[in-house]
Structure 1
Amino acid sequence: MTLPPADTPLYNHPLPDIEQWLTLKGCQQDKGNLHHWHIQQSDWEADLWLEIDSLTVRYLKAGEGGQDIQRSFKYSLSRQDLENVIFSGP
């Protein structure tokens, strides 16, 4: 399977392509809750949710005092833009 060009808005990606992209980026899908994903990096970890109109990311214990940091990104952003902001960490 080949992903659309990186400058394509995420809303123009079929769901299997989005799932492949997340897998390629090191995310693991929750088999009991298919719209929920998790990623663990050496210096941060996050939960991701594929919502109706946006991708929500919660960086775990990344804020001041160990608080979670949550951000939502519209699917109108390109895959490359989302990759740059999400996978660079909190």
Structure 2
Amino acid sequence: MATLPPESTPLNQHSLPALEAWLQQLGAVRMDDNPCQWMLERSEWRALLLLEREDLKVIWHPGSLEAMLQCSLPYGLSRADVEAAIQAGP
């Protein structure tokens, strides 16, 4: 498994193996049909994480009938900030 830089390091300064290791540590699972898509599940929600060219897109699917919510997180943000935003949920 790749060594992760300090959590204050922006995502754009992580290698691809480090980004994948971080997503795995969060509990995300890579989608079989697309290596740029990851699924993260929590008891209250699940989120599709999309590694896009300019940013990390997060699409939350709440457990209820609520509408999906999404946001785009620039790779210039620190890993800690991105992780906090994802974990906060919809």
Q: TM-score normalized by structure 1?
A: 0.92
CA shift, 1:31, in A, is: 1.8
The share of aligned pairs that are identical, in percent, is 39
CA shift, 1:66, in A, is: 1.8
- Count of matched residue positions in the alignment of Structure 1 and Structure 2: 89
1:77–1:5: structure 2 CA closer, same or farther, 3 Å change rule?
same
2:15 is matched with: 14
4+ residue stretches of structure 1 with deviation over 4 A? Answer: none
List per-residue Cα deviations over 1:9-56 (Å, max 9, x = no partner). Answer: 000000110000000001000121000000110111110100001000
Gaps of 5+ in 1: none
1:38 is matched with: 39
Measure, in 1, the Cα distance between the counterparts of 2:38 and 2:66.
21
2:5 is matched with: 4
Q: Is the 8 A contact 1:8 1:78 kept in 2?
A: yes
The one-letter code sitting in structure 2 at the alignment partner of 1:43 is E
**SS of residue matched to 1:66:** coil
Measure, in 2, the Cα distance between the counterparts of 1:45 and 1:58.
8
Q: Which has the higher strand share?
A: 2
Measure, in 1, the Cα distance between the counterparts of 2:68 and 2:33.
23
Describe how 1:1-90 pairs up with structure 2 within 5 A.
1-61=2-62, 66-90=66-90
